[in-house]
Amino acid sequence: RKEVEQDPGPFNVPEGATVAFNCTYSNSASQSFFWYRQDCRKEPKLLMSVYSSGNEDGRFTAQLNRASQYISLLIRDSKLSDSATYLCVVKPGGSYIPTFGRGTSLIVHP
Amino acid sequence: GAGVSQSPSNKVTEKGKDVELRCDPISGHTALYWYRQSLGQGLEFLIYFQGNSAPDKSGLPSDRFSAERTGGSVSTLTIQRTQQEDSAVYLCASILAGGDYEQYFGPGTRLTVT
């Protein structure tokens, strides 16, 4: 089992749709969780950290389920500009080395 | 302010040649990562530098790969005797300090070994 698994997609949704991605992780010692966004042929950029209590930033909501070892990202009212690959990042406690998932591709169409 | 810069942006080299990739982190950031990303793959950790501590080289795939960070700032990743499987985008990221701070990535160097 891979350390961090994501559905590669692509998720093809119309503008205005709500879409959700999950990411599962295998290391129960994981303590830090992030979602990064990567546009085509560009570098990854931090979208949001994922806190135990869940957190929201505008149209984006991230949640953590430690019991089932997954994190999720919900995007409401999708925009064309949301089209990108979303990378799940997990880091064990006491380690400086994160593990990146392969990413989930989102395509938002008019 | 200035972000992370990497050079060259693209490098085409013949199999067996050595290449050197450069990363200029954000000023004041004490920690630096190197990753590589192959087509359709996630980011693969290569090496981590934190301040003056010994680097974590646990991700380097072979002894053909090495990296150094001079003066706690600029870093170079060297690949000796390149192989075709080394073809990938090599990304550098700097963070303010070790821990859960945001990683700021450079634009990457796209390496093609022919």
Do residues B43 and B35 make contact, with C-beta atoms less than 8 angstroms apart?
yes
Distances (CA, A) of A61 to A33, A46, A80: 13, 14, 18
Please give, rounded to a whole number of angstroms, the shortest distance from the CA of A37 to a CA of chain B: 11
The pLDDT tens digits for B29-54 are 989 999 999 987 889 999 999 988 89
B41 touches chain A (CB under 8 A): yes
Dist CA B49 CA B24 (whole Å): 13
Question: Judging by DSSP bridges, how do beta strands B75-79 and B10-13 pair with one another?
Answer: unpaired
Dist CA B44 CA A97 (whole Å): 10
Dist CA B4 CA B66 (whole Å): 20
Please give, rounded to a whole number of angstroms, the shortest distance from the CA of B98 to a CA of chain A: 7
Neighbours of B27 (CB within 10 A): 9
Annotate chain B with three-state secondary structure.
CCCCEEECCEEEECCCCCEEEEEECCCCCCEEEEEEECCCCCEEEEEEEECCCCCECCCCCCCCEEEEEHHHCCEEEEECCCCHHHCEEEEEEEECCCCCCCCEECCCEEEEEC
Q: Which tokens belong to A48? A: 């949001």
Q: Which residues of B49-64 are buried (b: 16+ CB within 10 A; e: fewer)?
A: bbeeeebbeebbeeee
Chain A residues inside the 8 Å CB shell of B35:
100
Interface of A with B (CB under 8 A): 4, 8, 32, 36, 42-46, 49, 87, 91, 96-103
Do residues A42 and B9 make contact, with C-beta atoms less than 8 angstroms apart?
no
Helix (H, G, I), strand (E, B) or coil at A81: helix
pLDDT string in tens for chain A (110-residue length): 678 999 999 999 999 999 999 999 998 888 899 999 999 999 999 999 998 888 999 999 999 999 999 999 999 999 999 999 999 999 988 888 999 999 999 999 99
Interface contact B56-A49, CB threshold 8 A: no
Interface contact B105-A44, CB threshold 8 A: yes
The pLDDT tens digits for B68-108 are 998 878 999 999 999 999 999 999 999 987 667 789 999 99
Interface contact A45-B105, CB threshold 8 A: yes
